[in-house]
Amino acid sequence: MQLLNPRTYRPEHPDAHTNEMLQAVVDWFETRGLKRLKQDFHDRTWNYDFVEFMQSKQVLATLMTPEGYGENAAWNTRRNVEFAEITAFYGITYWYTFQVSMLGLGPVFNGDNEGAKHRAAKLLRDGAVFAFGLSEQEHGAGESQLLPDHREDDDRRRPRECEENLREGHGEGGAEDQAGPAGRVQHGLHHASFPASVSFSPPASESAK
């Protein structure tokens, strides 16, 4: 078993861009220093600086954009695992930003909504972070389907605004459940930069109640 040692770490991927990006991530943490990392953790400081750094280096766009949705885009599991190990080494906050964005983008890029995929890819290039959030009127939601949300409000809000909404108990954007057609319930699913909605049909056992 090999443990990450940032002093000897040298990425060895076949493409120079990946190597330069991963080394830049390690250098960012090393420059920040252990004292500052620990202070931010104990002060519960949200990692705005790291999110801005990732945008400047196109980190999440490189890691999470599949082939066909960006220039030289490609899914690379080894690269993602390596980045996850680096961020987890320096702090759970940094790893979580990556993990929850991956969770949020999974339903988008694995779906068949091409418009949503291209929009998500653009938001990645713009430095957005993502999440997948569900709410139910009653326990026991069954099948789900990702649908586009044609809201016209500003969906490019900074993570700081999302954090404030969450503290107030509204969730990102303050989305509320709305009755949909055929007895379905539509729920808001969106995060820092990607609004969408999700529809649910309750299981038969729940519908019969």
One digit per residue, pLDDT tens: the chain, 209 residues? 577 888 899 999 999 999 999 999 999 999 999 999 999 999 998 899 999 999 999 999 999 999 999 988 999 999 999 999 999 999 999 999 999 999 889 889 998 999 999 999 999 999 999 887 765 656 555 555 555 555 554 444 444 444 444 444 444 333 333 333 332 223 333 333 333 333 333 344 443 44
For residue 186, tell me if it sits in a domain.
yes
Are residues 97 and 190 part of one domain? no
What is the tally of structural domains in the chain? 2
For 160-181, letters b (16+ CB in 10 Å) and e give eebeebeeeeebbbebeeeeee
Structure tokens at 194: 């990607």
Are residues 147 and 54 part of one domain? no
Domain harbouring 79, CATH code: 1.10.540.10
Give the C-alpha separation, 202 to 8, whole Å.
53
Are residues 110 and 159 part of one domain? no
How do the residues of the chain divide into helix, strand and coil, expressed in percent and rounded to 5? 50, 10, 40
For residue 135, tell me if it sits in a domain.
no
Are residues 109 and 40 part of one domain? yes
Boundary residue ending a domain (118, 134, 161): 118
Are residues 178 and 105 part of one domain? no
Are residues 111 and 42 part of one domain? yes
Are residues 20 and 114 part of one domain? yes
Are residues 47 and 97 part of one domain? yes
For residue 168, tell me if it sits in a domain.
yes
Residue 148 structural domain: 143-207
For residue 129, tell me if it sits in a domain.
no
